[in-house]
Structure 1
Amino acid sequence: MRNAPSTTPRRRPARALVALAVAALVGSLTVAPVLPPLSTYANGEVAEAPTTDLQSISVSSELTDPTVSRDSYAASTGPETLIAGGTNHDWARLVLFFGDWPTTDENVNVVLRWMRQENGPDNWWNRNNPLNNGYGSGGGSGLGSYDSLVTAAKYAADNLKARSFYTDIVAGLEAGTSADATARAIWASPWASSHYGNGTHWSTSPVPVIEAPADSW
């Protein structure tokens, strides 16, 4: 006689549990971050992969933009601009440029007044020698001439810097702070035999702006 079938339920094979574990492992791998591939240096060493951790920085709302300090600067006018200007004021600045002296208002004014005492403002370019300079002009008494006003400006600056008896004039121009002080040095120097009447023949009134003929430059 055959045995009657058992009513006790059968146990599932262990392979089902293994399948569940594998599925869980695969699921965890799909959400893991993907790291960039490793790279190697020329010597064969492996470079470390960059970290994926992010850093954050908090800045206080009370901070203000720093104040940036910039050095002051001044632009100097070059010879080309002065020549193009073509006036007596430009020529005075040209002398200062060639002498490497500051182009302050005091310096410009004293040179303009000096020019006026030598040739007068209406004909300041006379013989292309506004200061009646004998140095390099072919006229020892100051009655020589130059080929251009540019040459005249160079020789005027060179003469003042080359002669020891003009050192006080140069000092005044180097300071650039007092047209009157520089004028007194001019009167005391041998530039003019009259010494400008020790200032009695020297006007301090404003010198008008007057343009020279283009061919004088």
Structure 2
Amino acid sequence: MRAVTAAHLHGRRVTRLVAAVAGLAAFALVALVSLAPPPQAPTADGAHGYVQTSAQGSLQIVTVPGDAAGVTVTRDDYSATAGVKTLAAGSTNKDWATLVLLLAGFPMTDSNITVMMRWMRQENGPPDWWNRNNPLNNGWGSGGGSGFGSYDNLSTAAANCAEALHSVSGYSAIVAGFQASAPTAQIESAIWASPWASSHYANGSHWSYAPVPVIASPAGTW
């Protein structure tokens, strides 16, 4: 067996220590390189360049012109409008008044609905506004020239009412008022002056301005 001297042992320890230090230094250098941010690409003509490093290490450069401006997109508002089925499901005198306006192509504003409900009250009182399924005692399509005919259901009655308003020239002022969502007094005056009721509602002296109660009709009327 070869004898190992103290000098040999010391030399081996030094060699191992140097190798360990060199390994640590190399590891630290690699870590610093990997953590360093990617370089920013050169720009031209005032453009701003942005550099991204892909998973494979290649560079991707995205250039945005310096005078690029943001774009503002404006979207129209939207709203929901009640349909025939929705109003029929509601089954109230207010729903029927709204349905007539809808089918006639009139704005379904609060003032228009108010006039329509007051008009309905003058023809049939709120407790039985659905009488003969003819809330406005309309003779158009109901088989009753005097307005005392009936319809199969309230949806049909609303459609005939809308058609009558647009078909009879004597109702043109009523149509114009509803179309413009005019003040209630203007539309009501047009109703009184029209041939809808032979009494002309005593030129308004029989017209009530009290709030009309909202009442649902019995099942099967729509």
Give percent identity, aligned residues only: 57
2:121 is equivalent to residue 109 of structure 1: no
User: How far did 1:215 drift?
Assistant: 1.2
Residue number among 182, 188, 193 corresponding to 1:188 in the alignment: 193
TM-score w.r.t. the length of structure 1 is: 0.70
How many residues are aligned here? Answer: 164
User: How far did 1:68 drift?
Assistant: 3.9
2:115 is equivalent to residue 119 of structure 1: no
Answer 1 or 2: higher relative contact order, Cα 8 Å, separation at least 6: 1
2:61 is equivalent to residue 55 of structure 1: yes
* Aligned amino acid, residue 213 of structure 1: P
* Aligned amino acid, residue 190 of structure 1: P
1: CA distance, partners of 2:219 / 2:201: 30
Which runs of structure 2 are paired with 1:112-191 in the superposition (5 Å)? 112-191=117-196
Contact 1:127 1:146 in 2 (8 A): yes
* Aligned amino acid, residue 83 of structure 2: G
User: How far did 1:57 drift?
Assistant: 3.7
* Aligned amino acid, residue 192 of structure 2: W
Residue by residue over 1:123-176, the C-alpha shift from the partner in whole angstroms, topping out at 9 and shown as x without a partner, is 100010000001111111111111100110011010010011100000011111
Residue aligning to 2:216: 211
1:96 partner SS: helix
Contact 1:106 1:176 in 2 (8 A): yes
The gaps in structure 2 that reach 5 residues or longer are 1-57
1:55 partner SS: strand
User: How far did 1:197 drift?
Assistant: 1.2
Residue aligning to 2:94: 89
Residue aligning to 1:11: none
2:105 is equivalent to residue 100 of structure 1: yes
Contact 1:104 1:177 in 2 (8 A): no
1: CA distance, partners of 2:162 / 2:119: 14
Pairwise CA RMSD of aligned residues? Answer: 2.1
